[in-house]
Structure 1
Amino acid sequence: MGRADPMRRGLLALVAAASLPGTGRAEPLATLRLLLGAPAGGPGDLMARQLAERLRGEHARAVVVENRSGAGGQLAVAALKDAPVDGSVLLLVPSSVVSIYPFTYARLPYRVETDLQPVALVAHSPLAFGVGPAVPAAVKSFADFLAWAQAHPQQASYGSPASGSIAHLQAAAVAQASGAPLVHVPYRGGAQAVGDLRGGSLPSLSAPLGIFLPHMASGQIRLLAVSGEARSQLAPSVPTWRELGFKLTAREWYGFFAPGRTPREVVARSASALLKSLDSPEAGALLARFGLELTPAGPERLAALIQADAAEWRGLIQRIGFTAES
């Protein structure tokens, strides 16, 4: 037998590590509810529904995805707070809910430290910065773009899917650090933003990588940078912000959480089932279509990631001076 794929070996090790004495062959849950703070049809919704199919059977006889969209995902978190702690209710949220909101909202209906119990990391989405036909074709790098922006300050704007999103804040940090006269143009979602980018009415856009991918073949969009500690597997020729001299690593990730009071053995059982459901080439291929990279990990890794994000974003948001009320 040949060498196992490194991702598969690591995933199997995580599944084994998540199993604790007494959690091996528990009876399946009657119903598992997966709360999602986003409307149907997006990457998070697709991810939740695919996982629901894989969790149905050995882990739960029925799995239901509940879309609790509103207030940027806060309604779904609030719904988790009073849920049973037997593993029958889990929450899937993007990282902004736990990494950004505590530093941009004066009041939240939840506390990350006490109301959310990390269960499993699923995937992450690199953030990308791209330019469209409104920027001359001679602009082929981010350094070129900065020079163009300095020479054309009246045209130097960038869009993002939402004000206060990770994409917005990361680009704002770059603009502040570089001294570039970049003006933010907030949108309500990525579809209109990327449409304006392609159409030439928006010069540049900071957004999750997946928003750009369907439009790359036309050559109308040029990606200049991506977030993360290493280049994205989905855009290996695009340099990271760190390579370009900016101390930014944060990416948008998706993770599962249980209510804060959930016992450790219940968390371990849920983590084991989720990680097992991700152990297939099909899962990674499906996520890649939406610009998501499969990065499965257990509760400890997810908890550490939240702490690292908090350390990075707390300082960035203070320097930018952004609040949800501003």
Structure 2
Amino acid sequence: MGRKLLWALLVAGLGLTSGARADDYPTHPITIIVPFAAGGPSDAMARVLAERMRISLGQPLVVENVTGAGGSIGVARAVQSPPDGYTISFGHLGTHVANGAVYKLKYDLVADIEPVVLLPSNPMIVVSKNAVPATSLKELIEWLKSRPSPPTAGTAGAGSGSHIAGVYFESVSGIKLQYVPYRGTAPALNDLIAGQIDLIVDQTSNSIAQVRAGTIRAYAITDSKRLASAPGIPTAEEAGLKGFNMTLWSGLWVPKGTPKEIVAKLNAAAVEALNDPAVRKQLEGQGLEMTPKDQLTPEALGARQKAEIAKWWPIIKAANIKVD
């Protein structure tokens, strides 16, 4: 009887300690691990959110870029961190869905992390170096098919959003590409501007500024409607390529076991940031589509992730995209 009472008191004490930590959270800076290079679309979104979430949480949010293996190294770093709310995993369709079908991960993309919030989505855009003679998507496909060897396409690594989008582009257009992996689409874009590679099926937010500057050429976006921020770029459907629809959504996760109260605080801070007119203007200016307000919940992100795993894993495996 004495042992049972002692155990009950110990459990109750641990519960009170955990609750106190959750009530006091955060007491020091929080790290957001972005699994791609600085300067890319994921990094840009994370930094905008981090700056605004700092106001709500009262502590700095520091972005740490941990690159490699299509983002799986950065995600692993976050998954293996203490479940105390001080390490957040930033990711998207590539890192938190596709990588499970591409890499032999040492973590489970669903069981080992807790969803926090579904972030704005990013339609993909087909862009090429200016030396490519095509001026329309139809002409681009004809030019790609006419090459004696497969044209080069930059990606952020095997299984990344840009790689999956490229494979998808191949399947619906009948072209063949030679993929060049980078540690993020920011360095890939630099090489595209320099003419070192032929094209990228990129996140719109990464390429749109260079399209506007005239340093690269855009052909179509993979959304069902034109972007308000770039109305002159047609959808793939309008450009004559049916079935080429893909949106790269993003999200925030924390390690499994993070107290629900802390997850709720992080969600509230992120939602407050996303509802801030200044933040919305910044993100929409990058070509991002804001998340509907009724989808700004941990449950919505969890449901989206599971649905996308069911959709994309068979496609990825059929294309034999894998890295040991």
Q: TM-score of the superposition, structure 1-length normalised? A: 0.77
Contact 2:83–2:257, Cα closer than 8 Å, also in 1: yes
Contact 2:223–2:246, Cα closer than 8 Å, also in 1: yes
- Name the SS of the counterpart of 2:110 in structure 1: helix
Q: d(CA) in 1 for partners of 2:278 and 2:105? A: 37
Q: d(CA) in 2 for partners of 1:206 and 1:189? A: 13
In structure 2, runs of 5+ residues without a counterpart are 1-18
2:179 corresponds to 1:184: yes
Contact 1:159–1:187, Cα closer than 8 Å, also in 2: no
Q: d(CA) in 1 for partners of 2:307 and 2:100? A: 14
Contact 1:32–1:89, Cα closer than 8 Å, also in 2: no
In structure 1, runs of 5+ residues without a counterpart are 1-21
CA deviations 1:122-152 (Å, max 9, x no partner) are: 222221112333322xx333222222333x2
Task: Say how many residue pairs are matched.
Answer: 297
User: Residue in 2 aligned with 1:159?
Assistant: 153
Q: TM-score of the superposition, structure 2-length normalised? A: 0.77
Query: Which one-letter code corresponds to 1:140 in the other structure?
Result: T
2:269 corresponds to 1:270: no
User: Residue in 2 aligned with 1:323?
Assistant: 322
- Tell me how far 1:117 sits from its aligned partner: 0.9
Aligned match for 1:235, one of 220, 230, 234: 230
- What pairs with 1:274-293 in structure 2 (closer than 5 Å)? 274-288=270-284, 290-293=286-289
Q: d(CA) in 1 for partners of 2:52 and 2:105? A: 33
Query: Which one-letter code corresponds to 1:111 in the other structure?
Result: D
- Name the SS of the counterpart of 2:91 in structure 1: strand
Larger Rg belongs to: 2
Query: Which one-letter code corresponds to 1:132 in the other structure?
Result: K
Contact 1:157–1:185, Cα closer than 8 Å, also in 2: no
- Tell me how far 1:116 sits from its aligned partner: 1.0
Structure ranking higher in helix proportion: 2
- What pairs with 1:3-42 in structure 2 (closer than 5 Å)? 27-36=24-33, 37-42=35-40
Q: d(CA) in 1 for partners of 2:183 and 2:267? A: 33
- Tell me how far 1:213 sits from its aligned partner: 2.1
- Name the SS of the counterpart of 2:291 in structure 1: strand
Q: d(CA) in 1 for partners of 2:267 and 2:86? A: 13
Q: d(CA) in 2 for partners of 1:280 and 1:100? A: 31
The verdict on how the C-alpha distance between 1:184 and 1:41 changes in structure 2, with shifts beyond 3 A counting, is closer
- Tell me how far 1:313 sits from its aligned partner: 1.6
Most deviating of 171-180 and 236-245: 236-245
Contact 2:128–2:192, Cα closer than 8 Å, also in 1: yes
Query: Which one-letter code corresponds to 1:320 in the other structure?
Result: A
Query: Which one-letter code corresponds to 2:136 in the other structure?
Result: S
Q: d(CA) in 1 for partners of 2:75 and 2:140? A: 39
Q: Considering only aligned residues, what root-mean-square deviation do their CA atoms show, in Å?
A: 3.1
- Name the SS of the counterpart of 1:113 in structure 2: coil
- Tell me how far 1:290 sits from its aligned partner: 4.3
User: Residue in 2 aligned with 1:67?
Assistant: 64
Q: d(CA) in 1 for partners of 2:279 and 2:212? A: 24
Contact 2:47–2:63, Cα closer than 8 Å, also in 1: no
Q: d(CA) in 2 for partners of 1:181 and 1:41? A: 29
